[in-house]
Each structure stands twice: as structure tokens, then as C-alpha cells.
Structure 1
Amino acid sequence: MKILVIGGNGTIGKKVSERLTQKHEVLVAGRNSGDVTVDFSDSSSITSMFESVGKLDAIVAIAGDAKWDKLDNLSEEDFYIGIKSKMMGQVNVVRIGKEYLNSGGSITLSTGILADDPVDMTTSAAMVNGAINSFVKAVALELEDRKRINVVCSDLVEDSFEKYKDYFPGNTPVPMYKIVDGYVKSIEGKITGRILRIMA
């Protein structure tokens, strides 16, 4: 398969790309590096990315930003960071990318445990994660030509544990291979409309 991994140079994206490369042709899209660059918060940039890579068998999005802070400190503009990037970036990947997806192809989006089990200072991030989970269940009903969509929703990953452990007291980090397996299940399997919750 020809697979585009948006965010393929990130902590999770790099491991997903490495696994997929063992069996498939993988193209990596990133903000500043990769086979193609993309501004995830700009729909015209997303369109240009798809134009440059052409037809695909699978699209994977492991990208997007959101502001972490106390609710009292978050302005309306702070919320728009996550809405424009993490949320609408992924919505636009589906909205635009489905036209570049071959029959029977798949789209895999990314969220995380904050959608179901938020922690302190994650009001914005939890909001957009929950929105994407709901979006995937709904849009799966409308995709045509046997096209599929799922979302990988993981707990705190081992490779980021040291950086984020103080935010997630008592959370057991997930081995990276389990998270990568979730993406493989979505891409190489036949499921659709699923929230693949990856826990330790």
C-alpha cells in the first residue's frame, strides 16, 4: 500500500512509519521536514500536500497542537489553537483527503486518554480529543466506496513518560509497540468507525 503518515517524524509517528515501511510504501508529512511539508492548521496547505502525493491507499494523522493550561488562564484564542490544529486539522485531512483515497482505503486519526479521562490543565486538549472521537463514529456512516476511518486513542506512551509523568499521576505508561499495533490494526484490518483505545 501507499501510505501517507502526517506527523511521521514525531514520537509516535516515527515508530508507526518504521513499522509500516517493513511492508508498505510510506510517505512522511511534517511541519518542517519529511517527504512533504504541511501546516496542519491551514486547509490550503493540506490540499497542497495531497496534490503533491497523489492517490493513496491509507492516510494516517498523528499531528496537531492544543494549549495546556488552567481554564482561568485560557483565552478564546487559546482554545482556537486546538480547534484549528488538533481538531480541524484532522477533520480537514478527512474532508479533503478522502478524495485522494483509493477504493477500500483507510484513514486513521489520533486522539488520547484525555477524551475519556482528562487531567488537570487539559480542558482544551480533552475537548478536541473528544470531538474527534465523535467525528470518527459519525463520518464512518457516510464514507463511500468501501473507504474506512478509525481513531487510535492511547494512554500516556512510554517514550513520553518522563516528559509528562507529573501530569498523569498513577497512569501506567503504554509500551510503544502496543500503540503502533493499534495503527496497524486500523490500516491493515477491515474495521471502521472504531475508537481503538490503547491502554497499558
Structure 2
Amino acid sequence: MKIVIVGASGTLGRAVVAELEKDARHELIRVGRHNGDLQVDLTDEASVDALFARTGKVDAIIATTGNVFFGPLAEMTAENFAVGLQDKLLGQVRLALKGQHILNDGGSITLTSGIIADEPIAQGVNATAVNTALAGFVKAAACELPRGIRINLVSPTMLTESEAAYGPFFPGFESVPAARAALAYRRSAEGVQSGQVFKVGY
């Protein structure tokens, strides 16, 4: 399979690359904002168009990227809230909308949300809203995608590798290694299900 992995240089993205590299049949295209085989800015439609012009037809698209705003609700502004909307939500939606047209028949799209969609945390209102919206998008899009194209969402809990940075935001939450979360991306890309949220670690 020819697979585009957006966010390939991040903690989760590196784990997904390592998992998929185990299968010599896969050809991986590593994409990042500044690093990788190719670069893309998911907030810029022209940049996404340019990415797919370079990749040509592919069998799978995986996104392991997206920024959200963390901060107390009492101080949040619409501008703050727009961070997650424009980056993690619309960025991944844009990737799916554009990507459906360069996927081969039976191809797949895998997006990323997170546990906060189901288990809110303090200062995480933007993240909860964005992750929940991604789940709705995937559920509905699966009903309309043609040519046997599938779409799924991977929703991991906090990654063990990120505990030092994010642990204080997730009191009492268990973490999972990125390598375990990566299995869900393989399941999505190589499996048969569509419109699913693959929850990892909760």
C-alpha cells in the first residue's frame, strides 16, 4: 500500500511509521509541517492541494496531527477557540475532503482525536469540542464516501511518552505507549471497518 502519513515526525506519527514499516509491502510518504519527505500546512488549502499533486494516487491517508487551545473557559475568547477549529478540526477535515479524490478504490482515511472527546479535563473545552466534532464528521462521511473508500478515527488516551509534559492535565488517567496506539492506525488502514472510532487505552 502507498500510504501518506501527515504528522510523521511527531511522537504518535513516528510510532505509526515504525508499525507500518514492519510490512515491506507498504510504501510510506512521511509528511510534516517542516520535516519529512514532503511538507504541508493543513490550515492552507493550497498547501494541501500541492501535497496531493506531489503524492499522486495513494491507498491510504493517515493524519496524526492537529493543535488545539488549552486554557480556562472564563478567559477563553473566540480567537482562542478558533485555534482548534482551524488547525485540528478543519485541518484534518480538509485533508479528508481533498484526499478522497486521490485515493485508489478501496482506500482509507484515518484521522486522530483523543480521550478528551469522552472524558473532559480542566482547560480542555476547545479540545473536547474539536475531538467530538471529528467523530461526527467521520461517522457521517463514512455514509457518503464512494468507491469503497473508508474513513475512521483513532482516539488514544494520553501517550506514555507525553506524560512528563501533559501528565498534570490528566490526573488519574492511565497512559499508553505510542506503539500501542499505532496498532489502531494499522487496523484502520488495513482493515475493513468504516465510520468507526477506535479508542485506545480507555
- Residue 18 (structure 1) shift: 1.6
- For 2:66, the equivalent position in structure 1 comes to 64
For the pair 1:157 / 2:152, whether they are aligned, the reply is no
- Residue 72 (structure 1) shift: 1.8
- Tell me the secondary structure at the aligned position of residue 63 of structure 1: coil
Distance across 1 between alignment mates of 2:170 and 2:19? 28
- Residue 190 (structure 1) shift: 0.6
- For 2:199, the equivalent position in structure 1 comes to 197
- Asked whether the 8 Å contact 1:63–1:86 carries over to 2, the reply is yes
Letter in 2 for 1:10: G
- Asked whether the 8 Å contact 1:118–1:126 carries over to 2, the reply is yes
Distance across 2 between alignment mates of 1:142 and 1:45? 25
Q: TM-score if structure 1 supplies the norm length?
A: 0.98
Residues 39-188 of structure 1: matches in 2 within 5 Å?
Answer: 39-188=41-190
Distance across 1 between alignment mates of 2:21 and 2:177? 20
- Asked whether the 8 Å contact 1:40–1:63 carries over to 2, the reply is no
Distance across 1 between alignment mates of 2:64 and 2:38? 15
- Tell me the secondary structure at the aligned position of residue 83 of structure 1: helix
Distance across 2 between alignment mates of 1:5 and 1:177? 15
- Asked whether the 8 Å contact 2:39–2:51 carries over to 1, the reply is yes
- Tell me the secondary structure at the aligned position of residue 57 of structure 1: strand
For the pair 1:9 / 2:9, whether they are aligned, the reply is yes
CA RMSD after TM alignment: 0.9
Distance across 2 between alignment mates of 1:74 and 1:124? 9
Q: TM-score if structure 2 supplies the norm length?
A: 0.97
- Residue 64 (structure 1) shift: 1.0
Letter in 1 for 2:75: N
For the pair 1:20 / 2:20, whether they are aligned, the reply is yes
Distance across 1 between alignment mates of 2:126 and 2:178? 25
Distance across 2 between alignment mates of 1:47 and 1:126? 28
- Tell me the secondary structure at the aligned position of residue 99 of structure 1: coil
Distance across 1 between alignment mates of 2:81 and 2:40? 21
Distance across 2 between alignment mates of 1:11 and 1:18? 11
Unaligned stretches of 5+ residues in structure 1: none
- Asked whether the 8 Å contact 2:11–2:178 carries over to 1, the reply is no
Moved over 3 A (4+): none
- Residue 167 (structure 1) shift: 0.5
Unaligned stretches of 5+ residues in structure 2: none
Q: Deviations over 1:99-120 (max 9, x none)?
A: 0100000000000000000100
Distance across 2 between alignment mates of 1:157 and 1:135? 24
Distance across 2 between alignment mates of 1:197 and 1:131? 15
